[in-house]
Structure 1
Amino acid sequence: MSNKENIPKLRFKEFSGEWEEKYFGDIYSFLQTNSFSRALLNYEDGDVKNIHYGDIHTKFKSNFYIQDETVPYINQDVDLTKIKEENYCKEKDLVIADASEDYKDIGKAIELIDLNNEKLLAGLHTYIARDDKDKMALGFSGYFMQTHNVRVQMMKMATGISVLGISKGNLNKLELTIPQKQEQEKIASFLSSIDKKINQLSKKDELLQNYKKAMMQKIFSQKLRFKKEDGSDYTKWEEKKLKEIATFFSGGTPSSTNKNYYNGDIPFIGSGKINSDNVEQFITSDALENSSAKMVNVGDLLYALYGATSGQVAISKIRGAINQAVLCIRSEENLAFLYFWLSFKQDNIISTYLQGGQGNLSAQIIKDLKINLPYIEEQTKIANFLSSLDTKISQNRKALEETQKFKKALLQKMFV
């Protein structure tokens, strides 16, 4: 154990004095878990639920409320008679994933806050750690196990090559610095309020996304129509091919062997950066003149033809040059309307023209797409409405990101 002063940088004013140094094994004891595979689990029915280590890595929140999580049942035909009652999960238990393919998730833990009187077991590649000595306040350990100090120790203890593991023996050697229980309770309560805000913003994001998707479905199927200012209907939508209403061009890549072509002042926009306001690569004016790279302006419609972002569309936020993986679309029609229509059609385009989601699109495919086109004034109303939804989504996501950053800073400052 270290000799440093064990006082956090940020603390509630009613508490003072140093935190106490303990080993994980001084507080927790391990209980037996099962090794049931995914094949023995289902999401329909059962009497006992089961925590799989993969769900700790990908789904479950660090402070676990069973009513808020989707937890699989153990199949009814699995024999559970040999499992002792003491090995069923209890509230305040830590369930720790003992295996991972990367360091950032090794030893990832959840604390069971509320089990809603349901029976729960911990399964394959998990440990149950129980505070039999009642040293920890409910909710504190779930946050404590996320702290930088604990995570660094976990990563150092991990063994293995392709799959990392961590042993109970090593976990028992984890060095913990903890306050008295009353201070733990105050910290857990405060951080829980931050988590509540994060959950609210996350749910709002999901609701806004689903609402936007539903509205786009109604708008582009013409089940929902906008009206003129006097309340009368706009004219019937007209089917056209995109090539009838727009012009198209893609770019190219300057020779990578010519050093004079790179590190210039012209942003070079690849297919993965069409929706970004900054890029990593820049080219020179010589590169632009001596290659197929072409300039696009702020407000141009950019469409990704190649790579992992195939089918994505964006309105350019910067003036720069594009390569051959990006298609620029210009039109006298409302470009924001075309942007939303192409976004709406993305999944359909990929499933129709890319086998298994793999491969590249072509400019000709996009030019030949058929679009039902409303009168320009209705296009504008549609674009404005959907843009307002995007603004709300963006504002909510910004608030979510800021709250998540705030929590991360608190985890660094409120713990030793």
Structure 2
Amino acid sequence: MLKKTIFSKNFSKKNINLKEKPKYLKNIPLLRFKEYNAEWKLQKLGDISSITTGSKNLKDNDPNGKYPFYVRSKNIEHINSYSYDGEAILIPGDGKIGEIFHYVNGKFDYHQRVYKISDFKNVEGKFIYYYLQKNFLHHALKHSLKATVDSLRLPVIKEMKIYFPTLDEQKRIVSLLSKIDTKISLMEQKYDVIKKSKKIILQQLYLENISEVESKIFQDKWDVKKLDEIAEIGDGIHKTPNYVKNGIKFISVKDIHDFSKTTKFIKKEEYDKYKMKTQKKMIYF
């Protein structure tokens, strides 16, 4: 969503010379640079790259290590060895599949349950990186028996179909998306600064938990009450409900940061059974 917002505000079709897709062509994107007209080619990821897993474990991690060590998380660890030197994309073989993608160009090592996609043939590595960010989760879900993907197998990755244009157009696309990523990074840095500033202000504006002696000192200036005296406190259900494809949104612990991202739904009958008395203003944690 953030990338889409930044694109609409900073990169209009006019100032980056974009055009919309003609209706009579199939294998091209909805939006592309005006000077390109040819349809995109289709190949499997395993035919245009080399895909392998690492050989290291978490115990090989060294906080003071010289080289980046890619494990099954967004966090990048360190290690004193490297098993590859070059351009590569790294994705976890289990865990948050479809959410974590690392792009690297240099010396690094990687976990035994992390897949390295490298040695690209007639494609830009970073073009594949952005392509996977958009399409890989959907591809993985097609090969899963559940609504989530717990683990990945090599054949599933190799079989993923990739549409790609000429190298020149790939570079143009990568350049544009990289500029957007740079803007996102700068905005996130500003966000972190503002968030830290808010924390400092909150600490100075509000009294923390105080003793009985201190409460007597402040009783003329501040009212001191227990939380359940000024608000109703309750929790959700203590079992997993029966999910359905469409219905009433169900908020789990994973969705607490952003309710709009929930993909879980329950039937109205189940909602009526467990629903809480809600008010216009509520705090969830």
What residue in structure 2 maps to residue 145 of structure 1? 132
Counterparts of residues 366-405 of structure 1 (less than 5 Å):
none
Counterparts of residues 238-317 of structure 1 (less than 5 Å):
238-243=220-225, 248=230, 250=232, 309=285
Aligned alpha-carbon RMSD (Å): 3.9
What residue in structure 2 maps to residue 12 of structure 1? 33
Give yes or no for the alignment of 1:51 onto 2:38: no
Q: Distance in 1 between matches of 2:120 and 2:76?
A: 25
Structure 1 residue 164 displacement after superposition: 2.6
Q: Which of the numbers 89, 92, 116 marks the counterpart of 1:94? A: 89
Give yes or no for the alignment of 1:121 onto 2:116: no
What residue in structure 2 maps to residue 362 of structure 1? none
Q: Which of the numbers 203, 206, 225 marks the counterpart of 1:217? A: 203
Tell me which moved more, 11-20 or 190-199. 190-199
Structure 1 residue 46 displacement after superposition: 1.7
What residue in structure 2 maps to residue 39 of structure 1? 59
Which has the bigger relative contact order, CA under 8 A and spacing at least 6?
Answer: 1
Q: TM-score, normalised by structure 1?
A: 0.43
Q: Distance in 1 between matches of 2:119 and 2:144?
A: 23
Residue 30 of structure 1 contacts residue 129 of structure 1 at CA under 8 Å; is this kept in 2?
Answer: yes
What residue in structure 1 maps to residue 169 of structure 2? 183
What residue in structure 2 maps to residue 174 of structure 1? 160
User: How many matched pairs?
Assistant: 212
Q: Distance in 2 between matches of 1:107 and 1:241?
A: 46
Q: Secondary structure at the match of 1:139?
A: helix
Counterparts of residues 329-348 of structure 1 (less than 5 Å):
none
Q: Secondary structure at the match of 1:146?
A: helix
**Residues 1:132 and 1:206: Cα distance change in structure 2 (over 3 Å):** closer
**Residues 1:42 and 1:195: Cα distance change in structure 2 (over 3 Å):** same
Q: Distance in 1 between matches of 2:148 and 2:165?
A: 37
Which residue type is aligned with residue 175 of structure 1?
A: K
Structure 2 stretches of 5 or more lacking a match? 1-24, 208-216, 235-254, 260-276
Which residue type is aligned with residue 152 of structure 2?
A: I
Q: Secondary structure at the match of 1:39?
A: helix
**Residues 1:30 and 1:248: Cα distance change in structure 2 (over 3 Å):** closer
Q: Distance in 1 between matches of 2:231 and 2:223?
A: 16
What residue in structure 1 maps to residue 77 of structure 2? 72
Q: Deviations over 1:287-330 (max 9, x none)?
A: xxxxxx7x98x8x8x6x5xxx63xxxxxxxxxxxxxxxxxxxxx
Structure 1 residue 201 displacement after superposition: 1.6
Structure 1 stretches of 5 or more lacking a match? 60-69, 222-235, 253-271, 277-292, 310-416
Which residue type is aligned with residue 98 of structure 1?
A: G
Q: Distance in 1 between matches of 2:233 and 2:110?
A: 54
Q: Secondary structure at the match of 1:195?
A: helix
Which residue type is aligned with residue 86 of structure 2?
A: K
Q: TM-score, normalised by structure 2?
A: 0.61
**Residues 1:249 and 1:32: Cα distance change in structure 2 (over 3 Å):** closer
Q: Secondary structure at the match of 1:203?
A: helix
Which residue type is aligned with residue 10 of structure 1?
A: L
After TM superposition, the runs of 4+ consecutive aligned structure 1 residues lying more than 6 A away are 159-163
**Structure of higher CA gyration radius:** 1
What residue in structure 1 maps to residue 181 of structure 2? 195
**Residues 1:160 and 1:121: Cα distance change in structure 2 (over 3 Å):** farther
Give yes or no for the alignment of 1:22 onto 2:39: no
Residue 99 of structure 1 contacts residue 164 of structure 1 at CA under 8 Å; is this kept in 2?
Answer: yes
Which residue type is aligned with residue 103 of structure 2?
A: E
What residue in structure 1 maps to residue 119 of structure 2? 131
Which residue type is aligned with residue 89 of structure 2?
A: L
Structure 1 residue 39 displacement after superposition: 3.4
